[in-house]
A and B are shown apart, each in its own frame.
Chain A
């Protein structure tokens, strides 16, 4: 006969009280673990989303245009905004001046010559862009080119152009008397790019009779997030006094701003969730602790006779304490383990099925094993603490009172 045997037999005898105790602890630990897990999932989701957003923004900056453009000083901006290309020209050499300067705010420069023309052979208006590989800022670490240039002798066509004329990559087309091999046929972008043809800069200069001239320099990978613009202006003005720098209200920027806003809102939502959890979880846990305590009192009352008899037989108060505490530990460990499973499952179900988050639980900051240990240990402590007062009444019980009852 051991105390342990007594504890397990009693549990089997009073299954209901035990099961309700386990349930109470489970509810507490489910709410605790569930909210922690869900918050962790949301946090990880947010971080993942932010990383993707940064990447997207970088790509979008490239695809949708750059937000800093260097134009000839005498260019009328109203015309530029209307046409999206400059009618004034500057020497192509400017780009080398910039590249050789100690400018720190810009990584790459992309010289271009753009003009709206009538494609004589095809009888239609197009935007002709002459571009060449970007010129890296020599004082910066060379990085992989962001824009793949159009090789000499080739042409890249916007969606509307190749679609309406049924042109394919590798075919040859004539433009202003010169023959080009089609290098790329772009997908639909829903902007002027769809009616744009890109050729090599030198060839564009020749066709448009603008040798050695360009009408825009795009600044790529500017270390510019809006408020850096005055600095860029100052730097460029010092090197190229004959130019003006404008920030194009690009869609990339708008998109980036929209995303930043989304992220900010997501952060606020997460903070609100945390706040709610920090109020709700203690309330649930306290409620469950009271529940465990009441079950403890019920159990002690039901075992009055038994406790009295054991004490009469000489069983020490300490053994009675061990008896009740180990019962509460069992309630806690079982409830904690079940609550852990239920909490994690609930959080995963809620986030994946109901919210559509695609976050793995393993990407959380806190380890699953640590969470399990926290749940089981915390639940055992909760059960023992909640059951402490009933346990004390049990060990203080006077056996004589039971024996006197007839």
Chain B
């Protein structure tokens, strides 16, 4: 589903070149929940952005469902993101003035679909947000916010979910709930690439990789 071949990415920082990813190779297949664990600053977010078609690697090959997203036009890359990828972040990144229901429906702005409203209703009840549908994010608990973000990620039935520290702002109970939903999604045939420094992730993942200083160490 997702494959990285010898990906390198560096940045020009104030003190010279900073290597964020160093010859990274990995692959995630449907039905797989891959957790990449590593300390802060090791390059996890960079890895995820490259996987999501949001950051071009300096060298190396990315393949998403058999296509190189960086060979596409920005417009097509946006479409690819909308149709294939669900994103979940530590900061939730909900739109503050939209209700829970509208936030879940936000991906339909990029990919309008007939059944979107119905699908949003299903997701609302699946994530236990029925009674919160009309609330704005500021009125929600952090757990509810992350569940809203998860529901949003699932609206367009993505082939892969890219999650960056999705439990970073959650207590243990809520973290378990989120991991539970991700596992459920994988069980239904999806695949997840999770990057985190949370050791509990290993318990839910089907496979775990360690990352240090931009390199994957098994």
Contact = CB atoms under 8 A, between A and B. Distances in A.
Interface in B151-199: 152, 164
Contacts of A306: 95-96
A309 interface: yes
A237 interface: no
Decide if the interface of chain A is mainly helix, strand, loop or mixed: helix
Contacts of A6: 95, 98, 109
Contacts of B96: 13, 306
Bin the interface of chain B by size.
20 to 34
Interface in B17-39: none
A309 B83 contact: no
Interface string A365-405: 00000000000000000000000000000000001101111
Contact of B75 (A13, A313, A316, A406): A316
Contact of A404 (B49, B74, B116): B49
A305 B52 CA distance: 17
Contacts of B54: 312, 399-400, 403
Interface stretch (B99-107, B125-133, B139-147, B210-218): B99-107
A150 B117 CA distance: 96
Interface residues on chain A, size class: 20 to 34
A127 to B, nearest CB: 91
B107 A314 contact: yes
Contacts of A309: 93-95, 106
Interface stretch (B59-67, B84-92, B201-209): B84-92
B52 A313 contact: no
Contact of B105 (A1, A316, A402, A404): A1
A362 interface: no
Contacts of B45: 403-404
A311 B105 CA distance: 14
Interface of A: 1-3, 5-6, 9-10, 12-14, 305-306, 308-317, 319, 399-400, 402-406
Which 6 pairs across A and B sit closest by C-beta, in order of nearness? A314-B82, A13-B97, A314-B110, A1-B105, A314-B81, A309-B93
Given A314-B78, A404-B49, A406-B90, 14 more contacts: A1-B102, A1-B106, A6-B98, A6-B109, A12-B97, A308-B93, A310-B110, A311-B78, A312-B54, A313-B107, A314-B111, A315-B109, A317-B74, A399-B54
